[in-house]
Every structure is written in C-alpha cells, then in structure tokens.
Amino acid sequence: MQTMNKTTDSLLASAKQSLLYTANRPEVVMTRGEGMYLWDTDDKCYLDFIGGWAVTSLGHSPAALQEALTYQSGQLVHASPGFYNKPMVEFADLLTEVSGFDKVFFASSGAEANESAIKLARKHGALHLNGAYEIITLTNSFHGRSLAMMSATGKEAFKPLFEPKVPGFIHVPINDFDACFAAISDRTCAIMLELVQGEGGVHAVDGPYLQALRKACDIYNIMLIFDEVQTGLGRTGKLFAYEHYGIMPDVMTLAKGIGSGFPLSAMLTTAEFDLFEPGDQGGTYSAAPLGMAAGHAVVSEIIRLGLADNAALQGDLIKEKLTALSTEYPISQVRGKGLLLAFDVPEGSAPMLAAECFKKGLLVNAPNQSAIRLMPPLIVSADDVEQMISILAIALETVGLKNEAICS
Ligand SMILES: *Cc1c(COP(=O)(O)O)cnc(C)c1O
C-alpha cells in the first residue's frame, strides 16, 4: 500500500509540474475501467454516474470497442484524408440509415462537428440567403470550446474570455419563441440548439416551442441545427433526442457517446443541404479508419443491445428513486430524459455533495452550485441504480442535507 501511495503522490507531483492547469481535478489518478466502474492507482473503486462526461455509452473498456480497435489497428490505422477507406463507408452507411439523414461528415470532437454545422449554415446563407451569416443560439447553451463555439455558447462565464469573439452569434432565452422570432432578420442563416441543455444544468426544450422554431425556419428558409453531441445515440431514451419531439432538424451533430471513449464526432444533414464543395471542410483525421471502425462497433452495439430502451427504463427508475429520496432530503426539480438527469439541492451545496459522493466511491457531476447531474453509461442496471441511491443518501446525510434541518 505504501509503495502504491508513493506512486500516486509522485504522479500527482509530476502532473502539477508538467500539465497546464486547465481543470480542478481531485487528488487521484485513474488507471483502469470496466463496465460501470473506474479504479485509481490506490485501487479505490468508483461507481461511475458521470460516464466519462456522457461519453462511455457502452461502459468502460467495452469488449466490442476493444475488438474493433484491435482488428482495425492490424489492418489500417490511417490512410490519409485524401483516400476513401472501408470503415468510413460502412460507418457512413450505418449512421445515415439509423438517423434519418442522408449525408455525414466525420470529425474528432463535438466542437468540430458544430463548427461544420456553422460552416454549412453560412454556406447556405451565402448561396440562398443573400449572404446571411447570423446564427441564433440559446442562453445557457453549450456548444464547445473552439473560439467560434465559445462564441456560439450562451454561457455567462465565457462572455469575458478571449475577446474579440467570432461575430454573428445571437443568444436568446430557451422556450421563448417570441424572443427568438424577434432575433430573426435577413441576416439569419440558422438556429442552433440542444434539445436538452446538458452543461447548462439539464433543461429540455418544450414541444410547442420546437414546433414553432421548425415552422419559422421553414418559412424563412433558415437552417435548423440540433446539437445532439450529448443527447444523441441513446442517451435520452431514444436513439436521437429529436425523436421525442417528432421534429427533424436540417442538421444534427453527434459526438460524446458515438465512440464510447474513442474521440469521434459527426455532422449529419439532408440531401437538401448537401452544399459543401471540395475545400470547404475537412481535417487530417476526418473519417480515419481506426475511428470509423470504433464508431461502427459502438453504434452497432448500442442498437443491438437496445441501450436507448435501457436508458429510458433506468432513467425512469432513477427519477422514481430520487423522488422517493426527496421526502427525507432536500432534493427538488428531478428532471431530464433517459440517462441525462439532474436534480437540485440547496444553493451552494452541489459541489460539496458531489465531493462527498466522490469520497464514498460514487462519481456524480455538479454542473453548477445547485444542481447534481447524472449521466451514467447506457448499460447501467437496476442494481447499479440501487447502489448509487444508497451512496447518495449516505452522502446527503454526511454533509448534513436533511429535510428536518431545513424545516425546523
Ligand atoms: C460536450 C459538448 C460539446 C463539445 O464537445 P467536445 O467533444 O468537447 O468538443 C458540444 N455540444 C454539447 C451539447 C456538448 O455537450
């Protein structure tokens, strides 16, 4: 044990010395993952309800991903973005078939997929809307960390950073059609939104609002873009969140769960918006064979195992158990779809509660001072849910969050 701790200490010391300080991380080093669990260098085990940040859809180190990576790395890792490769064609076929879209462009991260969507929208503006270039996005949204996507993001904390921002993004409040309508002008080429705001604290858009957006986009020939980077591929209890609403966008972006940990993203669109010409968009790693094989294996497995249905089932179970907990503990606003869930705790206590859960071997995320977000792997079972709830109850107890204490 002593030597183990020494290893951890020296790794942490090296990390502080050589890594740029871009995130507050706890004093542990993760080494291994399997299914719902992560282990650190001291062999402490964590039940993972963060799921690699809504990424490890199949759980940690899934066999299907290991096999695909092993096989493909023995065949061809990288051919050049200038050539077709077999996994690229197979994965494009699969994704277009299951998504309802006609065309796909592949990249490596959510931000890049969204950049592609914005480029496509501006191309549409240039070709069909007299050079319209503005994109309307939502307050409290999150679209990524490239400079353009920080400009698209409607997060207060991003506002003062890295000025000047990329121009042409307008932010309006969620579920307020009048505000959006007022922002539409002859400069508008697209509206981009998340159907359930993930980083923003798990807030879903309303059906009638989305219907009104679709209608406005149709009338004014504005492109409607759904950022399904977090909500896509089974996360919300449907393969794609747009299915909850019965409303198709013109463009949908995917990342996070698409590779279950392999860095991969996609932008999908319809034949109508097949507007890119050679030179407009690309990337050294776009549709590279290793990633394509990984994505194909992951998406096939999500479908084969019916993980969207499991997400719906376990999501309902989690909501039910959280609601039951709320009689004893100050838990409110249990919300979300499938396995993208959150609840509120008294203002200021969310980070402390997440830290206490961490101590007790449960990973949950506090996206702000008052919310706890859950986004476990889609393979989560009823037993895992039971275990999560019991650790959460103990953690609530330990940090002194009790209903009685609030009432008296
Ligand atoms: C995580 C996220 C992104 C950014 O994805 P990266 O892979 O980190 O670039 C964009 N949009 C949404 C909705 C996200 O949740």
pLDDT digits (tens, 9 = 90+) for 121-152: 999 999 999 999 999 999 999 999 999 999 99
At residue 197, does pLDDT exceed 80?
yes
Cβ neighbors of 349 (< 8 A, separation 6 or more) are 369, 370, 399, 401
227 Cα nearest atom in ligand 1: 13
Ligand 1 and 57: CB distance under 6 A: no
Ligand 1 and 199: CB distance under 6 A: yes
At residue 405, does pLDDT exceed 70?
no
Ligand 1 and 122: CB distance under 6 A: no
Q: Are 294 and 259 in contact (CB under 8 A)?
A: yes
Ligand 1 and 229: CB distance under 6 A: yes
* The pLDDT of residue 279: 95
CA of 42 to the centre of ligand 1 (A): 31
Tens-digit pLDDT profile for residues 77-89: 999 999 999 999 9
CATH topology of domain 63-304: Aspartate Aminotransferase; domain 2 (3.40.640)
* The pLDDT of residue 163: 96
- Probe residue for ligand 1, chosen from 256, 337, 340, 365 as the CB with the greatest number of ligand atoms within 8 Å: 256
* The pLDDT of residue 332: 98
> Residue written as tokens 């995917």?
254
At residue 367, does pLDDT exceed 50?
yes
CA of 332 to the centre of ligand 1 (A): 26
At residue 205, does pLDDT exceed 60?
yes
pTM over 0.75: yes
Q: What percentage of the chain exceeds 90 in pLDDT?
A: 97
How is residue 408 written in tokens?
A: 């008296």
Residue intervals in the chain for CATH 3.40.640.10: 63-304
CATH topology of domain 2-61+306-407: Aspartate Aminotransferase, domain 1 (3.90.1150)
Q: Are 193 and 141 in contact (CB under 8 A)?
A: yes
Tens-digit pLDDT profile for residues 328-354: 999 999 999 999 999 999 999 999 999
Ligand 1 and 144: CB distance under 6 A: yes
* The pLDDT of residue 404: 72
Cβ count near 277 (within 10 Å):
7
Arithmetic mean of pLDDT over the chain: 96
- What value does the mean pLDDT take over residues 168-185? 98
- What value does the mean pLDDT take over residues 363-386? 98
Calpha distance 46→57 (Å, rounded): 17
At residue 2, does pLDDT exceed 70?
no
Q: What percentage of the chain exceeds 70 in pLDDT?
A: 98
265 Cα nearest atom in ligand 1: 7
Ligand 1 and 143: CB distance under 6 A: yes
Nearest CA to ligand 1 atom 10: 143
- Probe residue for ligand 1, chosen from 142, 235, 251 as the CB with the greatest number of ligand atoms within 8 Å: 142
Tens-digit pLDDT profile for residues 383-402: 999 999 999 999 999 999 99
- Band of residue 4 on the pLDDT scale cut at 50, 70, 90: low
Calpha distance 249→322 (Å, rounded): 33
Q: What is the DSSP string of 72-99?
A: HHHH-S---TTS--HHHHHHHHHHHHHH
Residue intervals in the chain for CATH 3.90.1150.10: 2-61+306-407
User: Which is nearest to 150 in space by CA: 123, 173, 169?
Assistant: 169
Cβ count near 126 (within 10 Å):
14
Calpha distance 357→365 (Å, rounded): 10
Tens-digit pLDDT profile for residues 299-310: 999 999 999 999
* The pLDDT of residue 6: 65
Tens-digit pLDDT profile for residues 312-328: 999 999 999 999 999 99
CA of 126 to the centre of ligand 1 (A): 26
CA 256 to the chain's CA centroid: 5
